[in-house]
A = this chain, B = another copy of it.
Amino acid sequence: MCFYLDGTVNMYMRPLEGVTVTVDLEEMKIIGFWDRLTVPMPKAEGTDYRESEQKPPFLPPLKKITVVQPDGPSFKIDGHKVRWANWDFHLSFDMRAGPIISLASIYDLEKQKFRPVLYKGFVSELFVPYMDLDEEWYYRTYFDAGEYGFGLCAVSLEPMRDCPENAVFMDAYVVGQNGKPVKMSQIFCIFERHAGDIMWRHTETAIPRTIVREVRPEVSLVVRMVSTVGNYDYIIDWEFKQSGSIIATVGLTGLLEVRGSRYTHKDQIDEEVYGTLLAQNTIGVNHDHFLIYHLDLDVDGDSNSFVKSNLKTTQVPDHGSPRKSYWRVVSETAKTESDAKIKLGSKATELLVVNPNKMTKMGNHVGYRLVPKSGAGSLLSDDDYSQTRAAFTKYNVWVTPYNKSEKWAGGLYVDQSRGDDTLATWSQRNREIENKDIVVWYTLGFHHAPYQEDFPLMPTLSSGFELRPANFFESNPVLKVKPPQDVMRLNCSIFKVV
Protein backbone atom coordinates (compact mmCIF):
# COMPACT_ATOMS: atom_id res chain seq x y z
CA MET A 1 0.00 0.00 0.00
CA CYS A 2 1.29 3.43 -0.88
CA PHE A 3 0.69 6.65 1.00
CA TYR A 4 1.79 10.21 0.51
CA LEU A 5 3.52 11.87 3.44
CA ASP A 6 3.72 15.44 2.27
CA GLY A 7 2.03 18.02 4.48
CA THR A 8 0.85 15.70 7.25
CA VAL A 9 1.98 12.87 9.47
CA ASN A 10 -1.41 11.30 8.89
CA MET A 11 -0.34 9.38 5.81
CA TYR A 12 -3.28 7.00 6.23
CA MET A 13 -5.55 9.83 5.11
CA ARG A 14 -3.51 10.23 1.89
CA PRO A 15 -3.60 6.88 0.11
CA LEU A 16 -2.24 6.50 -3.42
CA GLU A 17 -5.23 4.57 -4.67
CA GLY A 18 -5.07 2.01 -7.41
CA VAL A 19 -1.45 1.02 -7.12
CA THR A 20 -0.36 -2.58 -6.56
CA VAL A 21 3.26 -3.40 -5.87
CA THR A 22 4.68 -6.90 -5.75
CA VAL A 23 7.72 -7.39 -3.55
CA ASP A 24 10.05 -10.37 -3.51
CA LEU A 25 10.74 -10.70 0.19
CA GLU A 26 13.79 -12.86 -0.29
CA GLU A 27 15.41 -10.49 -2.74
CA MET A 28 13.82 -7.44 -1.03
CA LYS A 29 13.09 -6.05 -4.46
CA ILE A 30 10.02 -4.70 -6.17
CA ILE A 31 9.32 -7.16 -8.94
CA GLY A 32 5.96 -5.92 -10.10
CA PHE A 33 4.12 -2.62 -10.27
CA TRP A 34 0.63 -1.99 -11.52
CA ASP A 35 -0.94 1.45 -11.57
CA ARG A 36 -4.50 0.45 -12.33
CA LEU A 37 -6.21 3.79 -12.13
CA THR A 38 -5.65 7.40 -11.18
CA VAL A 39 -7.59 8.78 -8.28
CA PRO A 40 -7.28 12.28 -6.81
CA MET A 41 -5.14 12.46 -3.71
CA PRO A 42 -7.04 13.63 -0.61
CA LYS A 43 -5.78 16.95 0.71
CA ALA A 44 -3.39 17.13 3.65
CA GLU A 45 -5.39 19.96 5.16
CA GLY A 46 -7.26 18.96 8.27
CA THR A 47 -5.63 15.55 8.56
CA ASP A 48 -2.77 16.22 10.98
CA TYR A 49 -3.64 15.34 14.53
CA ARG A 50 -0.58 16.70 16.32
CA GLU A 51 -1.23 19.41 18.83
CA SER A 52 1.52 21.51 17.28
CA GLU A 53 -0.34 21.58 13.96
CA GLN A 54 -3.71 22.68 15.29
CA LYS A 55 -4.85 26.22 14.69
CA PRO A 56 -7.31 28.08 16.87
CA PRO A 57 -10.10 28.09 17.82
CA PHE A 58 -9.63 25.34 20.42
CA LEU A 59 -12.21 23.81 22.68
CA PRO A 60 -12.21 25.57 26.06
CA PRO A 61 -9.48 24.01 28.20
CA LEU A 62 -10.62 22.14 31.28
CA LYS A 63 -9.16 22.91 34.65
CA LYS A 64 -6.55 20.58 36.02
CA ILE A 65 -7.78 17.28 37.35
CA THR A 66 -5.74 14.49 38.80
CA VAL A 67 -5.99 11.38 40.91
CA VAL A 68 -3.92 11.25 44.07
CA GLN A 69 -2.82 8.40 46.32
CA PRO A 70 -0.88 10.09 49.12
CA ASP A 71 0.36 6.77 50.49
CA GLY A 72 1.03 5.21 47.12
CA PRO A 73 -0.80 2.42 45.32
CA SER A 74 -2.51 -0.48 47.06
CA PHE A 75 -1.05 -3.10 44.76
CA LYS A 76 2.25 -4.92 44.97
CA ILE A 77 4.17 -6.13 41.97
CA ASP A 78 6.69 -8.89 42.47
CA GLY A 79 8.27 -9.62 39.11
CA HIS A 80 5.21 -10.39 37.04
CA LYS A 81 2.95 -11.29 39.95
CA VAL A 82 0.42 -8.65 40.88
CA ARG A 83 -1.34 -8.61 44.22
CA TRP A 84 -4.15 -6.14 44.86
CA ALA A 85 -7.06 -6.16 47.32
CA ASN A 86 -8.44 -9.71 47.18
CA TRP A 87 -6.84 -10.52 43.81
CA ASP A 88 -3.64 -12.28 42.92
CA PHE A 89 -2.58 -12.86 39.31
CA HIS A 90 0.33 -13.10 36.91
CA LEU A 91 0.80 -10.70 34.04
CA SER A 92 3.04 -11.65 31.16
CA PHE A 93 3.78 -10.39 27.71
CA ASP A 94 3.52 -12.36 24.51
CA MET A 95 4.67 -11.15 21.10
CA ARG A 96 1.56 -12.47 19.51
CA ALA A 97 -1.18 -12.03 22.13
CA GLY A 98 0.04 -9.01 24.08
CA PRO A 99 -0.97 -9.26 27.73
CA ILE A 100 -1.61 -12.68 29.21
CA ILE A 101 -3.39 -12.84 32.54
CA SER A 102 -2.84 -16.12 34.28
CA LEU A 103 -3.42 -17.82 37.61
CA ALA A 104 -5.93 -15.20 38.64
CA SER A 105 -7.26 -16.16 42.06
CA ILE A 106 -9.46 -14.33 44.49
CA TYR A 107 -9.27 -14.45 48.25
CA ASP A 108 -12.40 -15.77 49.87
CA LEU A 109 -12.84 -14.20 53.30
CA GLU A 110 -15.19 -16.89 54.46
CA LYS A 111 -13.06 -19.81 53.33
CA GLN A 112 -9.87 -17.93 54.28
CA LYS A 113 -8.08 -18.92 51.10
CA PHE A 114 -7.42 -17.96 47.51
CA ARG A 115 -9.68 -19.66 45.02
CA PRO A 116 -8.77 -19.96 41.33
CA VAL A 117 -10.87 -18.22 38.68
CA LEU A 118 -8.95 -17.69 35.46
CA TYR A 119 -6.11 -20.03 34.62
CA LYS A 120 -5.23 -18.05 31.53
CA GLY A 121 -6.87 -15.30 29.48
CA PHE A 122 -5.62 -13.51 26.38
CA VAL A 123 -6.58 -12.18 22.97
CA SER A 124 -6.06 -15.17 20.72
CA GLU A 125 -6.70 -13.51 17.38
CA LEU A 126 -8.11 -10.37 15.78
CA PHE A 127 -9.87 -10.42 12.44
CA VAL A 128 -10.39 -7.12 10.63
CA PRO A 129 -12.04 -7.61 7.25
CA TYR A 130 -12.71 -4.62 5.00
CA MET A 131 -15.80 -4.59 2.84
CA ASP A 132 -14.33 -3.31 -0.41
CA LEU A 133 -14.12 -5.57 -3.46
CA ASP A 134 -11.67 -3.51 -5.49
CA GLU A 135 -8.43 -4.95 -6.76
CA GLU A 136 -6.36 -3.15 -4.12
CA TRP A 137 -8.78 -3.82 -1.29
CA TYR A 138 -10.46 -7.22 -1.49
CA TYR A 139 -7.58 -8.90 0.35
CA ARG A 140 -7.55 -6.47 3.29
CA THR A 141 -8.78 -8.97 5.81
CA TYR A 142 -6.20 -8.66 8.52
CA PHE A 143 -5.31 -11.07 11.29
CA ASP A 144 -3.62 -8.69 13.67
CA ALA A 145 -2.29 -11.29 16.09
CA GLY A 146 -1.25 -14.09 13.75
CA GLU A 147 -0.03 -11.93 10.87
CA TYR A 148 1.37 -8.88 12.67
CA GLY A 149 1.83 -9.77 16.32
CA PHE A 150 -0.57 -7.95 18.58
CA GLY A 151 2.16 -7.84 21.24
CA LEU A 152 4.88 -6.86 18.77
CA CYS A 153 2.74 -3.87 17.80
CA ALA A 154 2.44 -2.69 21.41
CA VAL A 155 3.56 0.90 21.90
CA SER A 156 5.08 2.73 24.82
CA LEU A 157 2.46 4.25 27.05
CA GLU A 158 2.65 7.93 27.85
CA PRO A 159 2.44 8.75 31.56
CA MET A 160 -0.41 11.12 32.53
CA ARG A 161 -2.08 10.58 29.14
CA ASP A 162 -2.35 6.91 28.25
CA CYS A 163 -2.63 6.05 31.92
CA PRO A 164 -3.50 8.25 34.88
CA GLU A 165 -1.09 9.85 37.31
CA ASN A 166 -1.17 6.94 39.74
CA ALA A 167 -0.13 4.31 37.18
CA VAL A 168 2.91 2.09 37.46
CA PHE A 169 4.56 0.95 34.22
CA MET A 170 6.11 -2.34 33.21
CA ASP A 171 8.47 -3.07 30.34
CA ALA A 172 8.34 -6.04 28.01
CA TYR A 173 11.02 -8.00 26.22
CA VAL A 174 10.89 -9.69 22.86
CA VAL A 175 13.29 -11.74 20.82
CA GLY A 176 14.90 -9.58 18.16
CA GLN A 177 15.64 -10.78 14.65
CA ASN A 178 19.20 -11.57 15.70
CA GLY A 179 17.99 -13.68 18.59
CA LYS A 180 18.91 -11.16 21.25
CA PRO A 181 16.43 -9.71 23.74
CA VAL A 182 14.92 -6.39 22.82
CA LYS A 183 13.39 -4.19 25.47
CA MET A 184 10.04 -2.53 24.82
CA SER A 185 9.56 0.27 27.33
CA GLN A 186 6.44 1.06 29.30
CA ILE A 187 4.28 -1.54 27.58
CA PHE A 188 1.90 -2.20 30.44
CA CYS A 189 0.49 0.16 32.98
CA ILE A 190 -1.23 -0.87 36.15
CA PHE A 191 -3.38 1.54 38.10
CA GLU A 192 -6.23 1.81 40.49
CA ARG A 193 -9.32 3.21 38.91
CA HIS A 194 -11.39 5.64 40.95
CA ALA A 195 -14.00 6.71 38.45
CA GLY A 196 -16.70 7.95 40.79
CA ASP A 197 -18.75 4.77 40.55
CA ILE A 198 -20.63 3.13 43.40
CA MET A 199 -19.69 -0.42 44.39
CA TRP A 200 -22.88 -0.88 46.36
CA ARG A 201 -25.29 1.24 48.37
CA HIS A 202 -28.62 1.35 50.10
CA THR A 203 -30.66 3.98 51.86
CA GLU A 204 -33.35 2.53 54.10
CA THR A 205 -36.23 4.90 54.76
CA ALA A 206 -38.93 2.44 55.77
CA ILE A 207 -37.83 2.00 59.36
CA PRO A 208 -39.61 4.45 61.68
CA ARG A 209 -37.33 7.08 63.23
CA THR A 210 -34.23 5.63 61.56
CA ILE A 211 -32.39 6.39 58.38
CA VAL A 212 -29.79 3.87 57.34
CA ARG A 213 -27.39 4.75 54.59
CA GLU A 214 -24.40 2.68 53.61
CA VAL A 215 -22.38 3.40 50.50
CA ARG A 216 -19.13 1.95 49.21
CA PRO A 217 -17.40 3.71 46.34
CA GLU A 218 -15.86 1.53 43.66
CA VAL A 219 -12.11 1.23 43.28
CA SER A 220 -10.83 -1.31 40.79
CA LEU A 221 -7.50 -2.34 39.33
CA VAL A 222 -6.73 -1.89 35.63
CA VAL A 223 -3.97 -3.50 33.57
CA ARG A 224 -3.58 -1.75 30.21
CA MET A 225 -1.69 -2.27 26.98
CA VAL A 226 -2.04 -0.37 23.71
CA SER A 227 -1.29 -2.10 20.44
CA THR A 228 -1.05 0.07 17.35
CA VAL A 229 -1.37 -2.23 14.40
CA GLY A 230 -0.54 0.18 11.59
CA ASN A 231 -3.37 2.66 11.54
CA TYR A 232 -5.54 1.39 14.40
CA ASP A 233 -4.85 1.73 18.11
CA TYR A 234 -6.36 -0.94 20.34
CA ILE A 235 -6.57 -0.16 24.05
CA ILE A 236 -6.69 -3.48 25.89
CA ASP A 237 -7.82 -3.29 29.51
CA TRP A 238 -8.18 -6.07 32.05
CA GLU A 239 -10.01 -4.73 35.08
CA PHE A 240 -10.34 -6.51 38.41
CA LYS A 241 -13.06 -5.67 40.88
CA GLN A 242 -13.15 -6.52 44.53
CA SER A 243 -16.60 -8.04 43.92
CA GLY A 244 -14.92 -10.78 41.92
CA SER A 245 -15.64 -9.45 38.45
CA ILE A 246 -13.01 -9.41 35.75
CA ILE A 247 -13.88 -6.96 33.02
CA ALA A 248 -12.15 -6.97 29.65
CA THR A 249 -12.53 -3.78 27.63
CA VAL A 250 -11.26 -2.93 24.19
CA GLY A 251 -11.11 0.66 23.02
CA LEU A 252 -10.68 1.36 19.32
CA THR A 253 -9.05 4.61 18.30
CA GLY A 254 -6.40 5.85 15.88
CA LEU A 255 -6.78 6.20 12.15
CA LEU A 256 -9.24 4.69 9.74
CA GLU A 257 -8.11 2.96 6.62
CA VAL A 258 -9.58 5.15 3.89
CA ARG A 259 -9.60 4.96 0.11
CA GLY A 260 -8.95 7.80 -2.25
CA SER A 261 -11.93 8.74 -4.36
CA ARG A 262 -12.87 11.20 -7.06
CA TYR A 263 -15.94 12.30 -5.09
CA THR A 264 -16.17 15.53 -3.16
CA HIS A 265 -19.90 15.36 -2.35
CA LYS A 266 -22.29 12.51 -1.70
CA ASP A 267 -24.61 13.61 -4.52
CA GLN A 268 -21.94 12.75 -7.07
CA ILE A 269 -21.78 9.12 -5.99
CA ASP A 270 -23.43 6.81 -8.54
CA GLU A 271 -21.72 3.52 -7.79
CA GLU A 272 -20.91 1.28 -4.84
CA VAL A 273 -18.16 3.01 -2.83
CA TYR A 274 -18.00 0.56 0.09
CA GLY A 275 -18.09 3.22 2.76
CA THR A 276 -18.83 6.78 3.80
CA LEU A 277 -17.58 9.99 2.22
CA LEU A 278 -15.74 11.48 5.19
CA ALA A 279 -13.95 14.38 3.53
CA GLN A 280 -13.17 15.44 0.00
CA ASN A 281 -11.79 12.49 -1.97
CA THR A 282 -11.83 10.34 1.17
CA ILE A 283 -14.01 7.27 1.71
CA GLY A 284 -13.94 5.59 5.11
CA VAL A 285 -14.28 1.93 4.17
CA ASN A 286 -16.75 -0.29 6.03
CA HIS A 287 -15.06 -2.96 8.10
CA ASP A 288 -15.30 -5.08 11.24
CA HIS A 289 -13.11 -5.82 14.22
CA PHE A 290 -13.41 -9.22 15.86
CA LEU A 291 -11.29 -9.99 18.90
CA ILE A 292 -11.48 -13.56 20.08
CA TYR A 293 -10.51 -14.13 23.68
CA HIS A 294 -9.11 -17.43 24.90
CA LEU A 295 -10.57 -17.79 28.40
CA ASP A 296 -9.29 -20.84 30.19
CA LEU A 297 -11.40 -20.51 33.28
CA ASP A 298 -10.62 -22.72 36.24
CA VAL A 299 -13.57 -21.94 38.46
CA ASP A 300 -12.52 -23.23 41.85
CA GLY A 301 -10.57 -26.03 40.20
CA ASP A 302 -9.85 -27.20 36.69
CA SER A 303 -12.84 -29.44 36.03
CA ASN A 304 -15.63 -27.22 34.87
CA SER A 305 -18.81 -27.40 32.82
CA PHE A 306 -20.50 -24.89 30.55
CA VAL A 307 -24.13 -24.10 31.33
CA LYS A 308 -26.68 -22.17 29.32
CA SER A 309 -29.39 -20.80 31.56
CA ASN A 310 -32.28 -20.00 29.26
CA LEU A 311 -34.98 -17.70 30.56
CA LYS A 312 -38.10 -19.34 29.20
CA THR A 313 -41.56 -17.88 29.10
CA THR A 314 -44.02 -20.24 30.71
CA GLN A 315 -47.74 -19.94 30.11
CA VAL A 316 -49.96 -20.33 33.15
CA PRO A 317 -53.01 -22.58 32.69
CA ASP A 318 -56.33 -20.74 32.89
CA HIS A 319 -57.46 -19.97 36.42
CA GLY A 320 -54.13 -21.20 37.80
CA SER A 321 -53.28 -17.66 38.77
CA PRO A 322 -54.36 -14.14 37.90
CA ARG A 323 -51.07 -14.09 35.95
CA LYS A 324 -50.90 -15.56 32.46
CA SER A 325 -47.16 -15.97 32.21
CA TYR A 326 -43.80 -15.75 33.90
CA TRP A 327 -40.27 -16.76 33.02
CA ARG A 328 -38.14 -19.37 34.65
CA VAL A 329 -34.58 -20.47 34.30
CA VAL A 330 -34.10 -23.67 32.31
CA SER A 331 -30.47 -24.70 32.53
CA GLU A 332 -28.70 -26.96 30.07
CA THR A 333 -25.24 -28.29 30.63
CA ALA A 334 -23.31 -28.57 27.38
CA LYS A 335 -22.16 -32.15 26.87
CA THR A 336 -20.06 -31.65 23.76
CA GLU A 337 -18.62 -28.79 21.76
CA SER A 338 -21.62 -28.49 19.47
CA ASP A 339 -23.88 -27.73 22.45
CA ALA A 340 -21.77 -24.69 23.24
CA LYS A 341 -21.63 -22.89 19.90
CA ILE A 342 -23.65 -19.79 20.49
CA LYS A 343 -24.79 -16.89 18.38
CA LEU A 344 -25.79 -14.12 20.72
CA GLY A 345 -28.98 -12.34 19.86
CA SER A 346 -32.50 -11.98 20.97
CA LYS A 347 -32.57 -15.11 23.14
CA ALA A 348 -32.49 -14.41 26.86
CA THR A 349 -29.72 -16.70 28.00
CA GLU A 350 -27.14 -16.49 30.73
CA LEU A 351 -23.85 -18.24 30.05
CA LEU A 352 -22.02 -19.82 32.94
CA VAL A 353 -18.93 -21.81 33.66
CA VAL A 354 -19.57 -23.87 36.76
CA ASN A 355 -17.62 -26.34 38.78
CA PRO A 356 -19.93 -29.35 39.03
CA ASN A 357 -17.78 -30.75 41.83
CA LYS A 358 -18.12 -27.78 44.15
CA MET A 359 -21.25 -26.46 45.70
CA THR A 360 -22.15 -23.57 47.93
CA LYS A 361 -23.69 -24.38 51.28
CA MET A 362 -27.06 -23.78 49.66
CA GLY A 363 -26.31 -26.46 47.06
CA ASN A 364 -25.72 -24.22 44.05
CA HIS A 365 -22.80 -25.11 41.79
CA VAL A 366 -20.09 -22.52 42.12
CA GLY A 367 -19.72 -20.58 38.91
CA TYR A 368 -18.80 -17.53 36.94
CA ARG A 369 -20.95 -15.84 34.31
CA LEU A 370 -19.74 -14.59 30.96
CA VAL A 371 -21.64 -11.33 30.42
CA PRO A 372 -21.02 -10.17 26.82
CA LYS A 373 -21.42 -6.52 25.89
CA SER A 374 -21.53 -7.20 22.16
CA GLY A 375 -23.17 -9.89 20.09
CA ALA A 376 -21.82 -8.80 16.72
CA GLY A 377 -20.71 -11.66 14.50
CA SER A 378 -19.25 -11.90 11.03
CA LEU A 379 -21.62 -11.10 8.18
CA LEU A 380 -19.43 -12.71 5.53
CA SER A 381 -20.56 -15.89 3.82
CA ASP A 382 -18.94 -19.11 4.96
CA ASP A 383 -17.24 -19.79 1.64
CA ASP A 384 -15.49 -16.43 1.53
CA TYR A 385 -11.77 -17.11 1.67
CA SER A 386 -11.06 -14.84 4.61
CA GLN A 387 -14.09 -16.21 6.45
CA THR A 388 -12.80 -19.78 6.13
CA ARG A 389 -9.67 -18.58 7.92
CA ALA A 390 -11.72 -16.62 10.48
CA ALA A 391 -14.51 -19.12 10.93
CA PHE A 392 -14.24 -18.52 14.66
CA THR A 393 -16.35 -15.41 14.08
CA LYS A 394 -19.32 -17.54 13.02
CA TYR A 395 -20.32 -17.98 16.64
CA ASN A 396 -19.78 -15.56 19.50
CA VAL A 397 -19.05 -18.30 21.98
CA TRP A 398 -17.34 -21.67 21.63
CA VAL A 399 -16.19 -24.06 24.33
CA THR A 400 -13.42 -26.61 23.81
CA PRO A 401 -11.66 -29.09 26.07
CA TYR A 402 -8.22 -27.79 26.95
CA ASN A 403 -5.59 -28.85 24.45
CA LYS A 404 -2.19 -27.26 24.63
CA SER A 405 -1.89 -26.97 20.86
CA GLU A 406 -5.19 -25.06 20.56
CA LYS A 407 -4.06 -21.61 21.49
CA TRP A 408 -4.56 -19.51 18.36
CA ALA A 409 -8.13 -19.41 17.07
CA GLY A 410 -6.94 -18.53 13.59
CA GLY A 411 -4.25 -21.20 13.59
CA LEU A 412 -0.59 -21.24 14.52
CA TYR A 413 0.52 -20.17 11.04
CA VAL A 414 -1.98 -17.66 9.81
CA ASP A 415 -0.33 -16.25 6.69
CA GLN A 416 -1.85 -17.99 3.67
CA SER A 417 -3.76 -20.38 5.92
CA ARG A 418 -6.83 -22.16 4.60
CA GLY A 419 -8.52 -22.59 7.95
CA ASP A 420 -7.37 -26.15 8.64
CA ASP A 421 -5.86 -25.29 11.99
CA THR A 422 -8.58 -23.08 13.45
CA LEU A 423 -11.08 -23.20 16.25
CA ALA A 424 -13.94 -24.02 13.89
CA THR A 425 -12.04 -27.04 12.57
CA TRP A 426 -10.90 -28.30 15.95
CA SER A 427 -14.48 -28.10 17.19
CA GLN A 428 -15.80 -30.32 14.44
CA ARG A 429 -14.57 -33.26 16.47
CA ASN A 430 -17.38 -32.42 18.85
CA ARG A 431 -15.42 -33.49 21.90
CA GLU A 432 -16.87 -33.88 25.35
CA ILE A 433 -16.65 -30.77 27.47
CA GLU A 434 -18.60 -31.67 30.58
CA ASN A 435 -16.70 -31.66 33.86
CA LYS A 436 -13.40 -31.14 32.08
CA ASP A 437 -10.70 -28.52 31.91
CA ILE A 438 -12.47 -26.30 29.38
CA VAL A 439 -11.63 -23.18 27.43
CA VAL A 440 -14.29 -20.60 26.59
CA TRP A 441 -13.73 -18.57 23.44
CA TYR A 442 -15.60 -15.31 23.18
CA THR A 443 -15.57 -13.12 20.10
CA LEU A 444 -16.03 -9.44 20.76
CA GLY A 445 -17.25 -7.85 17.55
CA PHE A 446 -17.53 -4.31 16.26
CA HIS A 447 -19.13 -3.47 12.93
CA HIS A 448 -17.70 -0.20 11.81
CA ALA A 449 -19.48 1.89 9.21
CA PRO A 450 -17.47 5.11 9.53
CA TYR A 451 -18.95 8.52 10.28
CA GLN A 452 -17.38 11.90 9.66
CA GLU A 453 -16.46 12.19 13.34
CA ASP A 454 -13.93 9.39 12.71
CA PHE A 455 -11.94 11.69 10.41
CA PRO A 456 -9.00 12.32 10.59
CA LEU A 457 -8.68 10.28 13.80
CA MET A 458 -11.42 8.48 15.64
CA PRO A 459 -12.59 9.11 19.21
CA THR A 460 -12.39 5.91 21.23
CA LEU A 461 -15.19 3.38 20.77
CA SER A 462 -15.32 0.71 23.48
CA SER A 463 -16.89 -2.61 24.24
CA GLY A 464 -16.00 -5.76 26.12
CA PHE A 465 -17.29 -8.43 28.43
CA GLU A 466 -17.46 -9.27 32.11
CA LEU A 467 -16.68 -12.45 34.02
CA ARG A 468 -18.92 -12.13 37.04
CA PRO A 469 -19.14 -14.51 39.99
CA ALA A 470 -22.38 -16.48 40.01
CA ASN A 471 -22.86 -18.50 43.18
CA PHE A 472 -19.07 -18.54 43.48
CA PHE A 473 -19.29 -16.92 46.89
CA GLU A 474 -21.75 -17.76 49.65
CA SER A 475 -22.84 -14.12 49.73
CA ASN A 476 -21.84 -10.64 48.59
CA PRO A 477 -18.03 -10.67 48.78
CA VAL A 478 -17.73 -6.92 49.18
CA LEU A 479 -20.04 -6.53 52.15
CA LYS A 480 -16.94 -6.47 54.30
CA VAL A 481 -15.13 -3.79 52.36
CA LYS A 482 -14.59 -0.94 54.79
CA PRO A 483 -15.61 2.50 53.64
CA PRO A 484 -12.57 4.42 52.40
CA GLN A 485 -10.77 6.91 54.53
CA ASP A 486 -11.91 10.27 53.28
CA VAL A 487 -9.14 12.43 52.01
CA MET A 488 -9.52 16.14 51.79
CA ARG A 489 -7.19 18.53 50.12
CA LEU A 490 -6.15 21.44 52.29
CA ASN A 491 -4.02 23.57 50.07
CA CYS A 492 -3.80 23.83 46.33
CA SER A 493 -0.60 25.73 46.09
CA ILE A 494 1.54 22.67 46.39
CA PHE A 495 0.42 21.43 43.02
CA LYS A 496 2.99 22.17 40.44
CA VAL A 497 2.16 22.26 36.78
CA VAL A 498 4.91 20.27 35.10
Contact = CB atoms under 8 A, between A and B. Distances in A.
A276 B329 CA distance: 10
B194 A164 contact: yes
Contacts of A59: 85-86, 107, 109, 242, 477-478, 480-482
Copies in the complex: 2
B193 A195 contact: yes
B215 A383 contact: no
A119 to B, nearest CB: 21
Interface in A256-291: 264-267, 272, 274, 276-280, 286
Interface in A7-35: 9-11
Contact of A70 (B107, B324, B344, B495): B495
A201 B64 contact: no
A476 interface: yes
Most buried by B among A112, A198, A274, A344: A198
Given A451-B469, A484-B65, A498-B486, A311 B51 contact: no
A123 to B, nearest CB: 18
Interface in A209-226: 210, 212-219, 222, 226
B68 A460 contact: no
A453 B243 contact: yes
Contacts of A325: 379-381, 384, 387
Interface stretch (A131-139, A174-182, A405-413, A420-428): A131-139
Interface residues of A, number: 184
A9 B377 CA distance: 47
Contacts of A345: 345-346
A69 B492 CA distance: 8
Nearest to A215: B161
Nearest to A86: B59
Interface stretch (A92-100, A296-304, A358-366): A358-366
Nearest to A488: B498
Contact of A158 (B164, B215, B369): B215
A404 interface: no
Interface stretch (A247-255, A333-341, A432-440): A247-255
Contacts of A120: none
Given A161-B483, A311-B379, A251 B491 contact: no
5 tightest A-B CB contacts, nearest first = A345-B346, A266-B363, A195-B195, A161-B215, A70-B492
